Amino acid sequence: MNLSARQRALAVAGVALAGLLAGAVPAATAQAAAAAPDIPVANVKQHLADLQSIASANGGNRAHGRPGYQASINFVKAKLDAAGFTTTIQQFTSSGATGYNLIADWPGGDANQVVMAGSHLDSVTSGPGINDNGSGSAAILETALAVARSGYQPTKHLRFAWWGAEELGLVGSRYYVNNLPATDRAKISGYLNFDMIGSPNPGYFVYDDDPTIEKTFKDYFAGLGVPTEIETEGDGRSDHASFKNVGIPVGGLFTGASRTKTSAQVQKWGGTATAFDRCYHSSCDTTANINDTALDRNSDAIAHAIWTLSSGTTNPPGKVFENTSDVSIPDNGAAVTSSVSVTGVTGNAPSNLAVGVDIIHTWRGDLVVDLVAPDGTVYNLKPFSSSDSADNVQTTYTVNASAEVANGTWSLRVQDRATYDTGYINGFKLTFS
Ligand code: TRP
Ligand code: ZN
Ligand code: CA
């Protein structure tokens, strides 16, 4: 985006006008948000069959502290590692046994804006826990694999989690949140929880928490023509409570546990006026205890929400911030700076930040030139070099500034380190691609 002569003239007034100047640049068309893929329910069901086999081979359950839980963690982790996720196992102790959370980060996206989805992977001891909560675990696993298959590059950072010891009282998720530094908590823009999403006599319940997350789910089901209700069968009875307790926006989906479906709900969703899940916390919570339609719709809704909530706003290309005030550089003296105030750029600076430098000087080798990010990080653009006798530094440097938050005050810092020749900063310009 080139600046008009008038905009340049305005910019000469300097730092205070940099934000105004950016506002004067016409908004370019934002890129269309990528649509979520359909999540193949057959793949989700295969994960459930595998979790069932794990339970069957390990005494009939996948409970905290039992070999079926460890095997479940290994199973999910191997799939994520193969797909290119960065996985971490977090250990904790509960009721005298070691528990495990599995965290999977999809490389890329804005580390300061994390969209997180989680499901508890443990079952109760009385059964294999296929609806509770193989269903949520398998659906977010397949969504993560779909992220990898499609090479999705979200604006925000994506993180998936499988919690241990939920059935002992949200132990794993609470451990994760309690051990997350406050600065990292603040980076989680939303946590989505999926616990029981394939109940055999399903209802379609959406958590009534963060309005944006709630609306994202409701809109998806409205598009399918499937009515939803607010989840009321025990708010706080799953891992989202651990996040909500520390102020992180939460949301999620649920198809019902031991509560009885009302006749009005039967009218709405079909099924029978019996428990949503008659096998809740029982040995019959097997692969036979799943409604495929509910599993399919909820898996697709999860992908829709993750794609929608992570795409964020796309920055129009070529936002320019410029300061053309002259700053004289004292001979063999202290460093001086010229600054611009960057506003309205989402997320981090680009890996190819264009740093336009215009310095008038009679022996440029005297000069050390740095870019200083808003947090004070220094990027050296040009070293001192006594033998370089040429005039002026008039060039554009490309800086990998992707570790820096874009918005804030950026400075060009110049120091003259040898006597006799002198000059001044004529202009400093940042272009965010
Ligand atoms: N795993 C949860 C539990 O055993 C199931 C559950 C009950 C639930 N009520 C809920 C999950 C409400 C989400 C929302 O308690
Ligand atoms: Zn449960
Ligand atoms: Ca000098």
> Do residue 275 and residue 376 come from a single domain?
no
Of 254, 284, 310, the last residue of a domain is 310
pLDDT confidence of residue 235: 78
> Do residue 306 and residue 326 come from a single domain?
no
> Do residue 378 and residue 293 come from a single domain?
no
Cβ 231 under 6 angstroms from ligand 1:
yes
Q: Which of 125, 207, 240, 254 to mutate to test the pocket of ligand 1 (most atoms within 8 A of CB)?
A: 254
> Do residue 167 and residue 235 come from a single domain?
yes
What is the pLDDT tens value at each position of the chain, 433 positions in all? 233 333 333 333 333 333 333 333 333 333 446 789 999 999 999 999 999 999 999 999 999 999 999 999 999 999 999 999 999 999 999 999 999 999 999 999 999 999 999 999 999 999 999 999 999 999 999 999 999 999 888 999 999 999 999 999 999 999 999 999 999 999 999 999 999 999 999 999 999 999 999 999 999 999 999 999 999 998 789 999 999 999 999 999 999 999 999 999 999 999 999 999 999 999 999 999 999 999 999 999 999 999 999 984 435 567 899 999 999 999 999 999 999 999 878 777 888 899 999 999 999 999 999 999 999 999 999 999 999 999 999 999 999 888 888 889 999 999 999 999 999 999 999 998 7
pLDDT confidence of residue 18: 37
The closest ligand to the CA of 368 turns out to be: 3
Q: Is 145 helix (H, G, I), strand (E, B) or coil?
A: helix
CA of 269 to the centre of ligand 1 (A): 20
CA of 416 to the centre of ligand 3 (A): 5
> Do residue 338 and residue 293 come from a single domain?
no
> Do residue 14 and residue 138 come from a single domain?
yes
Cβ 163 under 6 angstroms from ligand 1:
no
> Do residue 306 and residue 197 come from a single domain?
yes
Partners of 116 in the β-ladder: 159, 191
Give the position, in ligand 1's atom list, of the atom nearest the Cα of 133: 1
> Do residue 256 and residue 296 come from a single domain?
yes
For residue 69, what is the domain's CATH number?
3.40.630.10
CA angle, corner 352, sides to 348 and 357, nearest 5?
A: 105
> Do residue 364 and residue 286 come from a single domain?
no
- Catalytic center residues: 166
> Do residue 146 and residue 29 come from a single domain?
yes
Q: Classify residue 43 as exposed, middle or buried by CB count within 10 Å of its CB (0-12, 13-18, 19+).
A: middle
Structural domain harbouring 406: 319-432
pLDDT confidence of residue 316: 58
Question: Residue 387 — left, alpha, or beta (φ > 0 → left; ψ -120 to 50 → alpha)?
Answer: alpha
For the chain, what is the domain count? 2
> Do residue 100 and residue 219 come from a single domain?
yes
pLDDT confidence of residue 317: 64
For residue 427, what is the domain's CATH number?
2.60.120.260
Of 310, 336, 368, the last residue of a domain is 310
Cβ 388 under 6 angstroms from ligand 1:
no
Q: Classify residue 378 as exposed, middle or buried by CB count within 10 Å of its CB (0-12, 13-18, 19+).
A: exposed
Partners of 394 in the β-ladder: 358
Give the position, in ligand 1's atom list, of the atom nearest the Cα of 167: 4
pLDDT confidence of residue 356: 97
Of 272, 293, 310, the last residue of a domain is 310
> Do residue 338 and residue 291 come from a single domain?
no
